[in-house]
Amino acid sequence: MFEAIERVPGDAILGLIQAFKDDPNPDKVDLGVGVYRDEDGSTPIMRAVKAAEQRLVDTEATKAYIGSHGDPDYGRHVLETLLGTDSAVLADNRASATQSPGGTGALRLAADFIAAQLPGKSIWLSDPTWPNHKGVFGAAGLDMQSYPYVDADNRLDFDGMLAALKQIPQGDVVLLHACCHNPTGFDLSAEQWQQVLSVVQERELLPLVDFAYQGFGDGLEADAYGVRLLAEHLDEMLITQSCSKNFGIYRERTGCFIAIAKDAEDMADVRSQLAITARENYSNPPAHGSAIVATIFESEELTAMWREELDEMRSRINNLRSDFVKALAPHGLDQRFAHVADQRGMFSFTGLQPEHVEALRDRHSIYMVKSGRANVAGLNRANLDYVCNAIADVVK
């Protein structure tokens, strides 16, 4: 029966991991997959996470199921971190948090929720977006459409985006990246978020905000500006959240799907449906990651430690962005790559073309995604000049 099954190519981003591993060049540089790296090129366990795990070894009393919505303490802390402790939405009991296996699991819950409860609604994605958005929404059978996000000169195409949003049919879902847009690194300003809000209100659209990098752009509070603005002014919205990056617990699969309804009554109805969706997909979410996050938030000491480490990661990335542009100045390329210093988060749409990316890999063992997306965190003091020399070599 299996003879007719065709082989398909694997995920292009994950494929880079193996290609990098197999490359014998000692000078090779990995700017591919989106995991944070420190100055030594490693992705260490955060100190606050290690300390929380140590506490859990001593205090955890059961491994019994945690229920389809997951750990309520985790959900509450995530909601407060996203929406702010003073959020009226929280005071009015209008937000429901369902813990999920990572941000990807939250996106699948969102997709299944839309497919089952809002039949006929399309989902609008930025062009470009994280490739797995299409994977997840397509697997759930949603109709997908796109709005422009980057222009031909590799700049944020906000006018194009807004014009497209104004044409979206009433009630459709529009996916927005809260911050640290993957793959481009181009984020909306406060004023641009306000304009998006106006269009969403005018067209009566349902925003789905994907929030996978809180704290990686300009800080925990600043990065939540857009999400909080929408939550403050809209009756209904959806949010997918991930702790993979900001707690560095990628493989623990820790995320959350949040639905905001117009009142507590509607919220309870939606919540009842989400329990079924979760149950039919995987029944209960994994508990270790959420226990780590809840333990950190329950302790003032661990929360302070975590915030400090998150600040360190963000500063390192933002300093690398400006160092990169400075290191390109001797090659006369600082103007051409000036946008890298203004982008935010782990990723940069460098503007390098597929042939440049190929030449960087073949001639210099520097790995990045074909679209020209580079993981800025893969740079460090030891490889910065090597990378800049190589870029100068391939673009000239």
Kindly tell me the burial class for residue 223, based on how many C-beta atoms sit within 10 Å of its own C-beta (0-12, 13-18, 19 or more).
buried
In whole angstroms, how close is the CB of 290 to ligand PLP at the nearest point?
12
Using CB under 6 A as the binding rule, whether residue 13 contacts ligand TYF is answered as yes
In whole angstroms, how close is the CB of 249 to ligand PLP at the nearest point?
9
- Pick from 29, 33, 95, 111: which binds ligand TYF (CB under 6 A)? 33
**151 flagged as catalytic:** no
**245 flagged as catalytic:** yes
Binding site for ligand PLP (CB under 6 A): 34, 102-104, 130, 177, 182, 210, 212, 242, 244, 250, 255
- Which residue's C-beta sits nearest to ligand PLP? 102
- Which residue's C-beta sits nearest to ligand TYF? 34
Using CB under 6 A as the binding rule, whether residue 327 contacts ligand TYF is answered as no
Other beta carbons within 10 angstroms of residue 14's beta carbon come to: 10
Other beta carbons within 10 angstroms of residue 215's beta carbon come to: 24
350 binds, among ligand TYF, ligand PLP, none (CB under 5 to 8 A by kind): none
212 binds, among ligand TYF, ligand PLP, none (CB under 5 to 8 A by kind): ligand PLP
**For the chain, what's the residue count?**
396
Q: Which is nearer to ligand TYF, 136 or 200 (CB)?
A: 136
242 binds, among ligand TYF, ligand PLP, none (CB under 5 to 8 A by kind): ligand PLP
Q: Which is nearer to ligand PLP, 34 or 128 (CB)?
A: 34
**130 flagged as catalytic:** yes
Catalytic residue among 30, 71, 187, 210: 210
Site string for ligand TYF, 107-136 (x = CB under 6 A): -----------------------x-x----
The answer to whether 149 touches 175, Cβ cutoff 8 Å, is: no
Token pair for residue 130? 């994280």
CA pair distance 239, 210, nearest whole angstrom: 6
Residues 167-226 touching ligand TYF, rule: CB under 6 A, are 182
Positions touching ligand TYF (CB under 6 A) are: 13, 33-34, 104, 130, 132, 182
Question: Mind telling me the catalytic residues?
Answer: 130, 210, 245
